[in-house]
Chains A and B, each alone.
Chain A
Amino acid sequence: MSQEILDGLAVIVNEVAGVPVEDVQSDKSFVDDLDIDSLSMVEVVMAAEDKWGVKIPDSEVKNLKTVGDAVAYIAANQ
């Protein structure tokens, strides 16, 4: 399940920010490793909301530091 979410998230991050799919790994920080800024992060979150039917409020977005954080949040709230 988590692998499916990770794979889907990698596609989203690639579409939004042009980051190679293979670089999107659980331990990677969105900001420090993948160079995803706050606006791109909003786009990633919105695409994830659409794809998995979850709600990720703005207040929660700042807690999603790594790709793994996002995968875990989506898996838990799906």
Chain B
Amino acid sequence: MTAAIRPITGAAHGRILSVGSYRPDRIVTNDELCERIDSSDEWIRERSGIIERRHAAADESVADMATVAANEAIERAGIAPEQIGMVLLATVTHPYQTPSAAAEVAHRIGTNGAAAMDISAACAGFCYGLELANSLVRTGSCAYVVVVGVEKLSDWVDFDDRSTAFLFADGAGAVVVGPSDVPAIGPVVWGSDGGQLDAITMTQSLIEYKTEGGDIFPALEMQGQQVFRWAVGEVAKVARQALEVAGVSADDLDAFIPHQANMRITDAMVRALKLPEHVPVARDIAYTGNTSAASIPIAMKAMLDAEEIPHGGTALTIGFGAGLVYAAQVVTLP
């Protein structure tokens, strides 16, 4: 017989309760990177807007950085770690196929054996995690969810590749998502385009490296113009859709926090969106570089702490990257 399964009830809505972040100590200047690539501080600033970035220490892991950011978010949320039902950790740079970084972080931040898994959605990973967390809270599967975006991209960059060496960096950002009486995470607009797998990929797979070898450990490689065209064309449309489905106009925004891919992409997106001039735009890439899944929560926290954007204000977040994959939503700022 088919037994009746008891239904569960979740929260009416989900919201971001808090945000935490971690930036590694070591500042890496453009000049330092130019010792290995044929480029210049001026060229890098013009093409990417990056003035400096942070690299993690050799003995500092993805899980280490994620733990610091998650602890800060939990403390700011004012909840106990035992209340967390799930740790979702977005990364592409955890150097183990298994076990996940999320399980380690769930243990280290003191959850009571919370569910844990990593998400591989590159630079869209944080926004993917945010929607999953929102869904978990609303279905009742979890009361609170920690979403972490964390990367140690410096382990996976070829520092002799002049198109990527200056771009990618390290860091972590985390939020706690919990229940809300009013909608505070708008409907997500997300998707993928596997027809452009080659736009951002690895120079070879780990298995190819193992069997065929090579001088260079698998590293990130990117078709910059292809990515730029996609980001400014298709992804900007996604941002507009996220506003529409949330019933929010660009004029209502208190912040635009796109993935910090490249300052030029941010500038072009702002133009494509016809974003009103009064809306503050995240430009954290200047001092943080492109930290993939970590970039949105790192930028969000920096803008809140600097009082550039208001607690409880309305922000548009959009992540996009390798896959290609993308996700955008309107959120109420913690």
Residues on A facing B (Cβ under 8 Å): 15-16, 37-39, 42-43, 45-46, 58, 61
Contacts and interface: CB of A to CB of B under 8 A. Distances in A.
B67 to A, nearest CB: 37
A46 B233 contact: yes
A37 B271 contact: no
Given A15-B271, A43-B268, A38 B232 contact: no
22 contacts: A15-B271, A16-B271, A37-B46, A38-B224, A38-B225, A39-B47, A39-B224, A39-B225, A39-B228, A39-B264, A39-B268, A42-B225, A42-B229, A43-B232, A43-B268, A45-B229, A46-B229, A46-B232, A46-B233, A58-B226, A58-B229, A61-B225
B297 to A, nearest CB: 26
Interface of B: 46-47, 224-226, 228-229, 232-233, 264, 268, 271
Nearest to A57: B229
Contacts of A37: 46-47
Contacts of A45: 229
Contacts, number: 27
Contacts of B264: 39
Give the interface centre of B47, B224, B225, B271 by most chain A CB atoms within 10 Å: B225
Contacts of B225: 38-39, 42, 58, 61
Contacts of A58: 225-226, 229
Give the interface centre of A39, A45, A58, A61 by most chain B CB atoms within 10 Å: A39
A39 B222 CA distance: 14
Report the 7 A-B pairs with minimum CB-CB distance, sorted nearest first.
A39-B264, A42-B228, A42-B229, A43-B268, A39-B228, A42-B225, A46-B233
Nearest to B226: A58
A38 B48 CA distance: 12
B230 to A, nearest CB: 10
Given A37-B47, A42-B229, A42-B232, 5 more contacts: A39-B224, A39-B264, A42-B228, A46-B232, A58-B229
